[in-house]
Structures are given as structure tokens and as C-alpha cells.
């Protein structure tokens, strides 16, 4: 647990993993921590520097194929992210970050790569068009909204639960689930930034390291959530999207 009302949020390799404004997830956590009187520090961990092991929450964002593989090389060195989680930190991965945290992911060359193994998940490739558009899912942290733009899927193992139950969109590619949760490690295919759109999810990440937090209602976020939920429900198509199988094809 966080001591002395101080909190450190580590933004992992933002020069590589910051697609679609994922840096905003760190801003959202700081805003919601500040609202509870927590002194929240943001640390941007560059790929050229050793990843700090003393953070409380680690954010691993999305990135294009080449950037993702560079990040993979850096994160495999020294097992520093794994050590931080083992020591009590929480971790949240988005899109490419989701795949990096998995046991295995399919690279842009169609070949499997060993992930960091923080999630009992194997990520392959969707067969067919990219998953692009608004997503809506139900979760234990309120409904989830976000914007997906990915070619990956996610096959959850016995040790991992879905982050949300799909209502609209593609998500993990099975027509039922979006994202993954395993202990203090959470992941999603959703951008937005997703922690700006989903205050309950942001608070859940904080509470994993702080314990229960006092309620905080942000009217601007509440308006955004309702607007994005309506946008997702207005999308044409069935409640559950067409199922797609794993493929080794590039995006």
C-alpha cells in the first residue's frame, strides 16, 4: 500500500507507446488521486533508461508494430516490470501494452513472441478487417467505453478474467469479452484515453495500491461517459460481433 499519502505513476516508454493519447491515462490517475488529497508524481520512463522498480502504478500504452517490438526488447531486459508487480505495484496495459503483458503475442512478421507473462493470455491476430470503432462493455467498475483500432485478439487462460463483457465492438475477438484482469494487472484494447472515459476503472487501479478511496464525481467525465455510451449504442450491427479466428496475417 502507498505510504505517507504519496503515489508514483510510471508512464512506460511514452516515446514508443503513446498511440491515440494513451499518455492521458496518467493525467487521469493524477487528477483522481489529487481529488482525494494524494500527492501523485508522474514519472516518464524512457526506453534508454532502466525502468524504475519503485513505482506504484505502471502504464503501458499502445504503439505501432516497430515501436512495440522496440518496447518489447527493453521490457524483457532485467525483468524490472515483473519485479515491481511482484513487490505490490499495479500495472495497466492498453492495446500493444495488453499484448506485451501477455504470455505470447503474434508479431508483425506473423511469428509468436514470448511476452512478459504478467497475464495468462495469448494474443494472436484477427482474421479479416481491423477492429475499428467505439466499444461498449459491462464491467464490475461500471460500463466501459473506448475506441479500438487493432488487429489483435486475446485468448484468456484459466488464471485471467475478462475486464468487461462486450456489448458493442470487437474487443478480444471472441464476441463476448474485452480486456483482461489478473491480480493487480489489468489490460484493454481500448483507447480514448480509456482511464479518462472510465472513472470507475481509473479508481480501481488506484485502489489496488491505496486501498479504498473516498467518492469523487467529475461532472465533465460523467457527461463524456454518457455521450460515448450513446455513440457506441448507435453503431449499426449485432450486439455480439462476428467471431473472428486467429490469423498470422499482418494488419
Instruction: Report yes or no: 35 and 3 within 8 Å, Cβ to Cβ.
Output: no
**191 included as an active-site residue:** yes
139: which 3 cell numbers?
464491467
Tell me the whole-structure pTM to 2 decimals: 0.91
Among the options 40, 91, 95, 123, which is catalytic?
95
What is the per-residue pLDDT for 110?
Answer: 86
**Residue ranges per domain, the chain?**
6-233
Per DSSP, the three-state class of 197 is helix
Residues 19-35 have a mean pLDDT of: 94
**40 included as an active-site residue:** no
Residues 177-189 have a mean pLDDT of: 98
- Give tens-digit pLDDT for 89-105: 999 999 999 999 999 99
Determine the Cα angle at 170 with ends 16 and 13, to 5°: 10
- For the chain, how many residues are written? 251
Sheet holding 144-150, edge to edge: 144-150, 131-138, 164-168, 177-178
Cβ neighbour number for residue 95 with a 10 Å cutoff: 27
Among the options 113, 150, 155, 191, which is catalytic?
191
- Give tens-digit pLDDT for 147-181: 999 999 999 999 999 999 999 999 999 999 999 99
CATH number of 6-233: 3.40.50.880
User: Rg of the chain's alpha carbons, rounded to an integer?
Assistant: 17
Amino acid at each position: 500500500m502507498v505510504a505517507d499519502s504519496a503515489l508514483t505513476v510510471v508512464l512506460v516508454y511514452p516515446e514508443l507507446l503513446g498511440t491515440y493519447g494513451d499518455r492521458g491515462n496518467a493525467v487521469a490517475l493524477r487528477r483522481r488521486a489529487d481529488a482525494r488529497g494524494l500527492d501523485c508524481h508522474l514519472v516518464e520512463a524512457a526506453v534508454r533508461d532502466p525502468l524504475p522498480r519503485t513505482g506504484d502504478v505502471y502504464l503501458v500504452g499502445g504503439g505501432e508494430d516497430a515501436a512495440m517490438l522496440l518496447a518489447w526488447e527493453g521490457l524483457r531486459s532485467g525483468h524490472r516490470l515483473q519485479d515491481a508487480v511482484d513487490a505490490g505495484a499495479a500495472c495497466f496495459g492498453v492495446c500493444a501494452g495488453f499484448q506485451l503483458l501477455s504470455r505470447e503475442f503474434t508479431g508483425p512478421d506473423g511469428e509468436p513472441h514470448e511476452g512478459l507473462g504478467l497475464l495468462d493470455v495469448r494474443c494472436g491476430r484477427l482474421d479479416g478487417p481491423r477492429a475499428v470503432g467505439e466499444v461498449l462493455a459491462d464491467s464490475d467498475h461500471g460500463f466501459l467505453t473506448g475506441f479500438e483500432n487493432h488487429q489483435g485478439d486475446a485468448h484468456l487462460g484459466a488464471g485471467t478474467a475478462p475486464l468487461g463483457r462486450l456489448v458493442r465492438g470487437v474487443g478480444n475477438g471472441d464476441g463476448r469479452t474485452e480486456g483482461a484482469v489478473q491480480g493487480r494487472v489489468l489490460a484493454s484494447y481500448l483507447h480514448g484515453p480509456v482511464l479518462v472515459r472510465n472513472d470507475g476503472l481509473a479508481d480501481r487501479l488506484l485502489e489496488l495500491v491505496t486501498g479504498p478511496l473516498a467518492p469523487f464525481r467529475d461532472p465533465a467525465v460523467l457527461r463524456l461517459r454518457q455521450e460515448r455510451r450513446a455513440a457506441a449504442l448507435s453503431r449499426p450491427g449485432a450486439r455480439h460481433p462476428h467471431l473472428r479466428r486467429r490469423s498470422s496475417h499482418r494488419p
